[in-house]
Structure 1
């Protein structure tokens, strides 16, 4: 390859998929590659973050890309001053999200260390109290968000308001409710990163220390030293398992196994112990059914609480297995035994001084690590689920005023455009004329819907421009699995034709039949004992991890959700293969070796 030719194309040379020409109008200017900044943007290496944004974004859904990346940056750069890492630059290309981590200049790292130690040290030293306060703050925000409501404007202002000298009309509540929902979700995203980067930092510090003691230790061995976490992210799945066992115990399992949700629940209600089970079902819903089958970043995500057929489907999977005497719970005891064995083996090889340092760093990593998954339940699942529900209410209300034909039309507008629509709705109501938007938005929403659909017809490029010779940014490696080896796999340089290579993310080796899934809507297709092959898994896929034999993903590192969840469920996993979903077809027989990070196609 010519030394001057980048390994991946420039964003400015990438064509739109057929039918998606003009897609740029969907997204704000600051999310797009600007021709006047070409030299600067071409000098950076960008990778596609399909781990968090696997599908093209609708215009409104840019809100959580904006909030997530701005808030991640503020904690690295402004709150904590993480010595080697600032924020992450982001762009949208053909509807997909591209990241470029912003490193701290080597000469500035030293000066940030004392400030980081002071600020992060305060959190590490007071973790439990600060975390309890965090939970209180987040729950208060969720309650505030839940209290928001959107109602149609009345024919006239209530007479009591007129006679009571209120002097205002009903549009104030409408504007305030929308602005409040946006403001609360923005604050919630700031809370999201208050602890998250610290959780990763503590683990990376421990990881670095162990590597300095044992340079050849497998990454997986270090990960095993913090496994067996009791994360609240696993609670929704645990609740379904408890409900399955309770159904068998009370003899209502048969009633639950067929029909719609309403039919199954009605059948349970008629059974002798049915009310007892229904009470448990209802209790589990608050808060544990505030859980999405996606990752919370999309307006299209389906939440259990709104789609009870999803948890019922998992329940119907667990009931026959519980009756057959299967162990459906996570193998936590086995994981803890393995954790303690590995920890003591390596600890015993250190001198006394190193052991003391090791004990301190390991203790901290184990204390803070559960948060790396816990925050997901409170923010991405619960809080964002409430936000999307409120936005659907508003979209439906505006549909009633003829701004768009379908209930979800609002999500094809950017959040700031919605504010203009609200003004149009309010002003036309006040003046007594038809709103202007009903002559503008139906056609424009249809145009944008078609663009988003066309963007989804073509997979994104894995990266743009020339990668650095060696990737050293720790978050990029740990979370996304972007390493020099991974880049070789994307370009085919690391392909020997015998199979696929990836990260050895969770131990064990199995053979089985592949099931390639590209969306959570396909989870029902999974059969017991199959190997899940997917671009990326969401944390909420945990209930299917009880029936699969292994997982293989296109993207993700040692600390990706897929890797963590597989380790906690005792399943082999190979992540970050780059091309598994392109090369493997459903029905192929595979051997997945999570110890070596290899996937072999046997048939």
Structure 2
């Protein structure tokens, strides 16, 4: 029987109007015709977990930097025994990944090296984590200090008097190069501990599977749940602000949170208003460095720049508090369940096996918080500053006459932007007009049309022929790519009205579907609905108290969507492949987070 397979990238056409999409991205990030035989021999899956929308050329640097840094820590730092990194290619504007296995003959030596290198980190975790925080905060500080100043009519007189010997183009070019370098450095820091966090959990996971072959993945995950991590602080701060507003009898001042200035003015005019405003201001640094997206796109909306977003969440929490609802994350219940499950497992072990279990569990719990914490410091805070600086540069070049719209720069690759800066500096230096507008107007216009066309067609979940069995551990744990999920994507084991995915967070519920493809649609979500999305972001947590369950296209047990749903006590099925494409808003669903199934019970 012929093995079922996904389309080849070489046979999958671009949407009408996007035929020239390859020209937007670097040559080494697309499927090349002269490598067809080699590229078709690999299995590729779409990473819609991190890049759920097509990305403009400049935004593609997030793929390059992230994928390279992920790979280097497996392949060059810690020498992870079974796995190198992942290769990345763009197709029709989306990112596809293919795991790279370590050469089998290298594995014995890599085991020894991994124990030495990773063992040092595990043995010095607290000190090295504290050092990591200092490095990341220093990097953020350097990024904040980057300035893009307009080129003046003439070099300042002070520079003449000091004999500086340079003009204003030197700091401008330095600032751009430094910003890109800091972003690259940030992504190096991102993976310094992340792969180790996954490795420690995977080691504990494999021990449980070996000793209890029938134990569920969900049961294992329960033994590390109920954690307090910085990623949840932004939402916690909003809840504290809501409670304070109710306590100070300010609730009716939040009737129209979309008008931030008017709302804050009403609060200021009330008794106790100054106290609330001080708390509001105090929460912003650093916790409002949080995006409603995921940090990989230049137009992500950050709370600190769009105060209507957090203020709207506060207003919603106020209403729920007044209704008598408990808006807190169920930490105590999660921790009680964690200890119950852990004790049951302990009672089935003794001697050396019990000691090994305790050691592996202790390590998993120690390192697990980083698996979520890094998301706040890197994707949210660091990338928020980076995108803000890049938007400032785009506006500067707009005002210099290089394009029409304030964000047109993002339709160029990072090296193309360097060329634009060179044009700007050259023309300023010689006192002539820049060439840029003649070249850039048609290019940007064409790319805008290409981007609009790419957005009309959702990505295929995978490409080429899948392997008979998926064994690469990080692919399974992070993305939820398993032999079973691939079979479900290909239609095996799924009925017309049934989808199969990862049992990511326990619970069985029924409700109406609400399909969301971007954070801008979150205001459409109604209480009791089931959120269906390509992937969720941690910053969507304030809506988790309203909904009945979550269903995503991609994500494994250690994906952010899975972890956040478990920590909020929300049933979830992840890694369905195409739920957001086949489910329609208004359909009645049954979501079983215990078994990983989603069933359409009735049409809209």
- Is the pair's TM-score, using the shorter chain for normalization, greater than 0.5? yes
Q: In 1, Cα distance between the equivalents of 2:265 and 2:572?
A: 40
Aligned counterparts of 1:73 and 1:585: Cα–Cα separation in 2: 37
Deviations 1:466-519 (A, max 9, x none): 111000101111111111111111111222234222111101111111111111
User: Structure 2: which 5+ runs fail to align?
Assistant: none
TM alignment of 1:162-561, pairs within 5 A: 162-258=160-256, 260-561=259-560
* Aligned mates of 2:61, 2:600 — CA distance in 1: 40
Is the Cα–Cα contact under 8 Å of residues 391 and 407 in structure 2 kept in the other structure? yes
2:25 corresponds to: 27
Residue 2 (structure 1) aligned with residue 37 (structure 2):
no
- SS state of the match for residue 581, structure 2? helix
Q: Would you identify which runs of 4 or more consecutive aligned residues in structure 1 move more than 3 Å?
A: none
Aligned to 2:123: 125
- Deviation string 1:180-218 (CA, Å, 9 cap, x unpaired) is 101111111100000000000000000000111100001
What is the rounded CA distance, in whole Å, between the counterparts of 1:582 and 1:449 in structure 2?
24
Instruction: Report the secondary structure of 1:602's partner residue.
Output: strand
Alignment equivalent of 2:96, drawn from 95, 98, 118: 98
Note the residue ranges of structure 1 that are not aligned, 5 or more in a row.
Answer: none
Q: Determine the C-alpha separation between the residues in 2 that align with 1:445 and 1:402.
A: 14
Per-residue deviation, 1:562: 1.1
Compare 480-489 and 388-397 and name the one that shifted more.
Answer: 480-489
In 2, Cα distance between equivalents of 1:494 and 1:106: 33
Distance 1:361 1:257 in 2: 50
SS of the equivalent of 2:10 reads helix
Provide the secondary structure at the position in 1 that maps to 2:215: coil
Task: Write the deviation string for residues 13-34 of structure 1: whole angstroms up to 9, x where unpaired.
Answer: 1111100011111001000111
Which stretch of structure 1 is more off in the superposition, 237-246 or 102-111? 102-111
Give the structure-2-normalised TM-score: 0.98
Q: 2: distance between equivalents of 1:241 and 1:257? A: 17
Separation (CA, whole Å) in 2 of partners of 1:56 and 1:585: 21
Cα distance in 2 between the residues matched to 1:392 and 1:190: 23
Measured against aligned partners, the alpha-carbon deviations of 1:297-341 in whole angstroms (never above 9, x if no partner) come to 111211111111111111111001112221101000000000000
Question: How big is the shift at 1:583?
Answer: 2.7
Residue 217 of structure 1 aligns to a residue whose secondary structure is coil
| Contact 2:501 2:596 (C-alpha < 8 Å) held by counterparts | yes
The CA distance in 1 between the partners of 2:432 and 2:122, in whole Å, is 59
Task: Give, in angstroms, the shift of residue 342 of structure 1.
Answer: 0.2
Instruction: Report the Cα distance in structure 1 between the residues aligned to 2:429 and 2:194, rounded to whole angstroms.
Output: 46
Contact 2:509 2:549 in 1 (8 A): yes
Count of aligned positions: 601
Q: What is the alpha-carbon distance in structure 2 between the residues aligned to residue 312 and residue 13 of structure 1?
A: 48
Give deviations 1:503-551, integer Å, cap 9, x for gaps. 1110111111111111111011111111111111112211111111111
Report the alpha carbon displacement of residue 125 of structure 1 after superposing the two structures with TM.
0.6
CA distance in 2 between counterparts of 1:9 and 1:252 reads: 57
Q: Secondary structure at the match of 1:13?
A: coil
State the Cα deviation string for residues 214-239 of structure 1 (Å, max 9, x = none).
Answer: 00001000000000011110100000
- List per-residue Cα deviations over 1:265-311 (Å, max 9, x = no partner): 11111111111101110110000000001110111211111111111
> What is the alpha-carbon root mean square deviation over aligned residues?
1.0
